[in-house]
Amino acid sequence: MTKIVFLDRGTFPKNFEAKKPSFSHEWQEYEGTPKDQIIPRLQGAEIAIINKVKLTEDVLSNLPDLKMIAISATGYDNVDINAANERGITVANVKGYAENSVPEHAMMMILALSRSLIGYQTDVEKGIWQKSNHFCFFNHPIEDLHDKTLGIIGRGVLGAGLARLASGFGMGIMYAGRRDDKNPHKPYIEFNEFLEQCDIISVHCPLNEQTKDLITKKEFDKMARKPILINASRGGIVNEADAVNAVNEKKIRALGIDCLSLEPPRNGNPLLSIAHYPNVIITPHVAWASSDAIYTLWEGLINNIEKWKKGELKNSL
């Protein structure tokens, strides 16, 4: 009987009714799995389901029975793909499940930061409006999105989804070319030119060797229009310490972050020092997590497992 082990079931809501594969199997799941329990819990398992648990070469070398890694996410930087390929282990992720959820979350941040929603809400909670001599007051800047230029890093389904939403507000759209490409083809814009021309920048690319620390002090210094910066992709793409400095030095006018380099930030993170600012929004990596997206993700995960069982699926990344 096929043994299936889900190592971090806690990455899904507790009340989510997760259907199981239709074929005969033994199912084990754990709320979370510390590093020293990964190998023991996967002994004898043919299929490992993971979200953020890391499966390194050292781990995989101790799992002779493992035949498939089913990732309940799109990102797969937590799996040593080369080591899996060498051992004939199929690795499958789920694409497109958050094609509405992530763009909507990014658009929410853009709207909230453009209109200083957090600042004004906080002022009402503190009683500042109630003390005003007029029907309104102007503690924070308010800007329209119409005719602003939105720059998107990453032109996959999520970046394209945000572009679709932004176009409804009358925004112009730019796509960033690769950092080392001096002559990108349309619709991409040379990276430094992109940084100079955008009123808002939103990150929707994967984290890899090319995109790690893609935005650092050097890039912030080139942002001539002092844009709003959004990262709903992966922590590590935007250098966190440099982002804090950019906010404090007013190199950018607002910051929206949904992902940190280490999650949760139990030992602190530079970004937490500015989380209370009226022009900063930090959410706990939930851009992907609408109820619709979670359902679609799980359907895709089970579909990958059942296709693999039928011999219809090899690597799907």
Strand partners, 55: 79
Q: Which residue out of 249, 263, 276, 299 is catalytically annotated?
A: 263
CA angle 266, 5, 100 (to 5 degrees): 65
Exposure letters 198-208 (e unless 16+ CB within 10 A, then b)? bbbbbbbbebe
Count Cα atoms within 13 angstroms, Cβ side, for 170: 4
Query: Two tokens at 211?
Result: 């995109």
Q: Distance between CA 93 and CA 70 in Å, rounded?
A: 6
Q: Is 285 a catalytic residue?
A: yes
Q: Is 276 a catalytic residue?
A: no
- Give the CA distances from residue 27 to residues 107, 296, 313, in Å, rounded to whole numbers and listed in that order: 38, 21, 21
Q: How many CB atoms lie within 10 A of CB 147?
A: 10
Q: Which residue out of 46, 234, 240, 253 is catalytically annotated?
A: 234
Q: Is 234 a catalytic residue?
A: yes
Q: Which residue out of 9, 41, 204, 285 is catalytically annotated?
A: 285
Q: What is the DSSP letter of 22?
A: S
Helix 101-114 to helix 117-125 angle, to the nearest 10 degrees? 60
Strands of the 25-29 sheet, one edge to the other: 25-29, 2-6, 47-50, 68-71, 90-92
- Active site residues per annotation: 234, 263, 285
